[in-house]
Amino acid sequence: MVYLAAAKSACVARPLSAAARAAQQMGLIARIARCGGTSWMLNRAATQPGVVSAGPPPSGSNGSGSASKSGGSIIIANTTTTTTANSSNGSGSASKSGGSIIIANTTTTTTANSSNGRSSGGGSGGASRSRSTSNESGKGGRAAAVAACDTFECLRKAHALPPAQQERFNFPHALILGYPKCATTSLWHYLDQHPQALASHPKEPHYFTRCYSTPTPPSRQGAAWGCDQTQGDYLRGVLHRDKAAASGLSRAAFEASTGYLEAPAIAPGLRRALPWLKLVVSLREPISQAISLRAHAAEIMARPGAHPKWFAAQEGDVCLRRLVADRATMGECALEVVRARESYVDSLRQWLAAGWDRRQLHVMQYETFTSAGPRARAALDDLKRFLGLDPSLGPAQLPAFNMRRDHVHPEGWQISKRDYLALLAIVQPQSIKLANELERLGFCRAAEWLAPWAAAWRRTLEGCTPANCTVVLTR
């Protein structure tokens, strides 16, 4: 068993500029810190960027919230003063070098009321509470512009407009990237029941792996499906553009294609197309995930007649075909999966390397949010806060969808001890790297992330005979 010590905090004190000291004396700024090489100036009440962005950020910028970076990400709230800063590029965000002013659009005056202690860039759940006194505040604004958009380029122009008061969310607002068999269907249904969310139909359109990628499709599955949608089809039919616009962008449109995280080749293009997106990732103990994935695929492959359109048996699925014919074991097929794919941590690193800001990413652990009790509720509330949804609304518990643990081999899967040890030799070091990376990024403590996975490995090993092991899938 591997024991990890918590790493030291990545944040260290940073000297204040003269302008920042003045703002701090006025009670506008809580602290300045440097985290992972990026300078942050934090408002007392806002610890993450606002939901409504002032416009699409330039390549390499933070991609979320109303603050741009020049020597630091800056969030400022005025008490009763109306502050205006003219921007030469016409976008909704501006900053001065040295870090003192963020606000404004070329024609917009923005006021943030400090009576509730909130900044113009972040309110309850990260939602913007800024009030625009420009002509955009009554009707029209982004929502009207979004309603006319059939392309991503049009959406980027629409998001360059200042948001009206009620326009809480970008469009589209979020993607659940994966992984498959990590309760993403349950998360989709959970968010679908929230009155401020707008779920895609279908749940997994896989548009970006099928239709919006490099000349060579980034996934074999995407290549097998082919593309049968335009950008307008995706925005109107899948993401319900008209409903989102009719709500005044007061509902957060999202989809949940679980193959996206495994196709990091789409990350740069997606970043250029829709740079404001919030990205949700769910990760499960890797051996349980691999077994559940193969069990689901075997069920489908064994059905007579045509398979669902989304199911594409691939040339490398030799073991899966043998498993359906009872000529292979689940241990052998799980090994095929973990040997062939990139690890969780490698996929995450590639998405972040494509320019996505860590603050646009929310990582969840399957074993935590699918469990019973206060930890699961806290994890689900954190998800809603990240998305800017009211945590007090929506269902109290996660609905169970596509969870096979309780009705497909609930007693566990019999695999050889040799195969189980081979699986552990691959996934354990990968999991340690993942936990350390998540701690470095500020998502969790490495030891706490590893604890439920290590407990599952230990229980399985303790129950092994000299020849075989019984793997009970995590939940």
Residues contacting 130, CB < 8 A, separation 6+: 50, 52, 66, 110, 111, 112, 120, 121, 163, 165
Q: What does the chain come to in residues?
A: 475
Amino acid at the residue 117: G
Q: How far apart are CA 67 and CA 85, in angstroms?
A: 13
Pair 192, 168: CB distance under 8 Å: no
Pair 30, 42: CB distance under 8 Å: yes
Phi-psi region of 442 (alpha: psi -120 to 50; beta: other; left: phi over 0): left
Return the bridge partners of 83, or none: 110
To the query of whether residue 157 is one of the catalytic residues in this protein, the response is no
State yes or no: 349 annotated in a binding site: no
Q: For CA atoms 45, 69, 172, 219, give the dihedral sign.
A: negative
Q: How far apart are CA 48 and CA 390, in angstroms?
A: 15
State yes or no: 294 annotated in a binding site: no
Burial class (CB in 10 A: 0-12, 13-18, 19+), 256: buried
Closest listed residue to residue 449, CA positions, set 285, 293, 290, 292: 285
Return the bridge partners of 252, or none: 197
Give exposure, 202-212, as e/b (b: 16+ Cβ within 10 Å): ebbbbbbbbbb
3-state secondary structure 11-44: EEECCCCHHHHHHHHCCCCCEEEEECCEEEEECC
Q: For CA atoms 459, 461, 467, 472, give the dihedral sign.
A: positive
Q: Which candidate in 181, 203, 278, 384 is catalytic?
A: 181
The two tokens of residue 269 are 């293009």
Return the bridge partners of 416, or none: 468
Q: How far apart are CA 441 and CA 435, in angstroms?
A: 10
Query: Other C-beta atoms within 10 Å of 144: how many?
Result: 15
Q: How far apart are CA 328 and CA 297, in angstroms?
A: 14
The two tokens of residue 445 are 């403590």
Hey, which residues are catalytic here? 181
Q: Which residues are annotated as a binding site for 3'-phosphoadenylyl sulfate?
A: 284, 292
Q: Which residues are annotated as a binding site?
A: 284, 292
